[in-house]
Structure 1
């Protein structure tokens, strides 16, 4: 035991702790290369759920350069990674410290953040405080988008905003018209949709045929929508084929979808997105037999990286039509396929779980191991988490040990510790779990005393 403890100390002393990387080198590379210390401090604050504004304030007080371009870059990165509360915090700090003269784009970004974090009512209040000369087309369009997509469908306020855009000469792009048509469509006001279309024509603002088709579909006019799609098809634009298949799936019939699929194959290299569009469209048309034929005769033989969304979608279609046996056969074959991509697999797991007594836990454990061996750790963690939460399966300490190991590798030591303390039943904290815990502390260069305590616990287990 003493020699093991000494060995653990030596390993801990020479280990390095992994760091969550928020800012990658794909953009702002030069900017971030010259501010590596600030980057590290921000990442550390995110890991510890500390305030980003505190980091920025300390950086500034230490006499470091903090220009508006850099702050806006930080805000943009936070938005891109969906850390909206932190992005709003940076935006508020930038205004409070009067970092620069604000431009309309700053207000538009702030409007979107307020809506994401605090809700639409607060975003409306924020808009009222924005000087009129800084309320640009983008901000009003964001407002219309919110009215169109929100649950309350406030037509009166949307019309007031649309009228204001008209008065200010801001109705120059298709987006505001499109959102108003969407709003009118959602409340069943076909007459207003026609009015918007007429106004667009008068102002020489053109929606493309695909957008026109969507507008007609929103009000249930499938014939007019199909006419627009036929016009779009005449442009022979290969980049539009996936969207055409989906829209024909709403407006046309399986013949339209199959025709576009053949054009797609002639002009583009097949990929998973194309197959998703094809099978989704056929299922929308309730043509389950052709969807199944396309899956088995083309997708299964395509050699593409496996995308679990496709068989999951088809299996759901089978069950919808009462074809339970076909769904189970498909899911069993899919389970044995180890070529999982990087897409979330929870929908597949849930579909697989519907098979009840046919489920073989050993096959699922093999799936987790294959994902680990392929270095698809995030997906392996997703699978392990789902597996451990299923009450229909008898679990072993090794199952929890795998999930603990994956949690540390994907989410970090803090989350792994939390999982160990709160989610692993005491009856499952066997030797394999404590071995995994010790390895975590070794990798993360953590407290030697904690590692020694784990050794002692392992000794108590009789190993």
Structure 2
């Protein structure tokens, strides 16, 4: 997987990242030109497990058994009604969510269309937003944009605006996204951090890191409270520009609002380790990490801050995913990248995984193993008061006979 696609797949913040924080909101993000499916019951629907137990013959089971996209969820819904059953809107939303999570977007869109065409259902802002995202996935961004523009003014809300912005950002359509972002700022609607995070993620993914601080300024002017994703993108952009003084200023700002939030404190600790131990300074500006893909230090720094974000959130599975994906790229890593992932595993109390990364570093054919760097991580954890974490790493160093004094 190329670096850019790895970055984008992991930073689509209204999806993978922000769902961890905004789990109470349904913003799978969907909407577009009117998709009208037939209401007639045809032979498209075939129950693929006709011998299922009686208790499994509910609406959800029937739809999930469709499997093939050419089969019609609309026909299943129509047959269910003809058999004298009712369909609460909450059930439709739950089934749609499950279909989207398994990437069965065509069937989820058919459920959305059913809700639109049956007037007894009162659609929420999230329903319209979900429809925008589904139409993008099934018919493309043009269809989603046409649908959004045709919506009544009352349904052009923060969620639907952000849904369309998400689609533009995901496709790296910078000009379209900036035009919509200006409309968002002119709308006087009460947007939250998610909307601004979308623009920041877009700028990071296309390498326009210098534009990120201006989005933060917009957010603050509107008195919107930044979340941990906002800070991660902001700090990452400053680090990528090697503006370390600004990184430290932002960390100080974060520490004043972190309170007792465990995620934020983990995040602050990891950034401090990364900046102070990883040799991240202006002297690095002339040192590009060259590969066949010509990955720059700025791009590697952005990757590092994905690791820091998930470490802060306690998402060990995501750390595994990023690290495994990165190793598959065969790109050349430097000691700072290893420092980042080792520190993240240690702060989540996963010493075995940290040790495994050290072994992988030792076996690397492209990056010399740095025993002194491991010692700097130990000292870095001690400096911020995490003595137990420091001791865990020190034990790994001793077990692997990596004491720098012996080298």
Q: TM-score, normalised by structure 2?
A: 0.53
Residue 145 of structure 1 is matched in structure 2 by 166
Give the drift of 1:108. 0.8
Q: Which has the higher contact order (CA 8 A, sep 6+)?
A: 2
Q: 1:386-425 alignment to 2 at 5 Å?
A: none
Aligned residues: 278
Question: Structure 2 CA distance, aligned partners of 1:104 and 1:292?
Answer: 39
Residue 238 of structure 1 is matched in structure 2 by 262
In structure 2, relative to structure 1, the CA distance for the partners of 1:284 and 1:138 (3 Å cut) is farther
Residue 153 of structure 2 is matched in structure 1 by 132
Question: Structure 1 CA distance, aligned partners of 2:229 and 2:101?
Answer: 28
Aligned partner (choices 249, 271, 274) of residue 227 of structure 1: 249
1:107 aligns with 2:161: no
Deviations 1:393-424 (A, max 9, x none): xxxxxxxxxxxxxxxxxxxxxxxxxxxxxxxx
Larger Rg: 1
1:162 aligns with 2:211: no
Q: 1:163-312 alignment to 2 at 5 Å?
A: 163-184=182-203, 186=206, 188=208, 190=210, 192-208=211-227, 211-218=230-237, 220-222=240-242, 223=244, 224-232=246-254, 235=258, 237-240=261-264, 243-244=267-268, 247=271, 251-254=275-278, 286-287=335-336
Deviations 1:338-379 (A, max 9, x none): xxxxxxxxxxxxxxxxxxxxxxxxxxxxxxxxxxxxxxxxxx
Give the drift of 1:271. 6.6
Deviations 1:269-288 (A, max 9, x none): 997778899999xx965258
Give the drift of 1:142. 1.9
Q: Is the 1:53–1:93 Cα contact (8 Å) retained in structure 2?
A: yes
Q: TM-score, normalised by structure 1?
A: 0.47
Aligned partner (choices 51, 55, 77) of residue 72 of structure 2: 51
1:321 aligns with 2:321: no
In structure 2, relative to structure 1, the CA distance for the partners of 1:302 and 1:171 (3 Å cut) is closer
Question: Structure 1 CA distance, aligned partners of 2:87 and 2:228?
Answer: 47
In structure 2, relative to structure 1, the CA distance for the partners of 1:97 and 1:289 (3 Å cut) is closer
1:92 aligns with 2:141: no
Deviations 1:279-338 (A, max 9, x none): 99xx9652588689989x989x9687x89x965993698133278xxxxxxxxxxxxxxx
Give the drift of 1:140. 0.8
Deviations 1:163-212 (A, max 9, x none): 3323332244222223334445546373x544433333332223247623
Q: Is the 1:250–1:284 Cα contact (8 Å) retained in structure 2?
A: no
Name the structure with the higher helix share.
1
Question: Structure 1 CA distance, aligned partners of 2:69 and 2:207?
Answer: 46
Structure 2, unmatched stretches of 5+, are: 1-47, 281-310, 327-331, 370-407
Question: Structure 1 CA distance, aligned partners of 2:98 and 2:358?
Answer: 33
In structure 2, relative to structure 1, the CA distance for the partners of 1:108 and 1:269 (3 Å cut) is closer
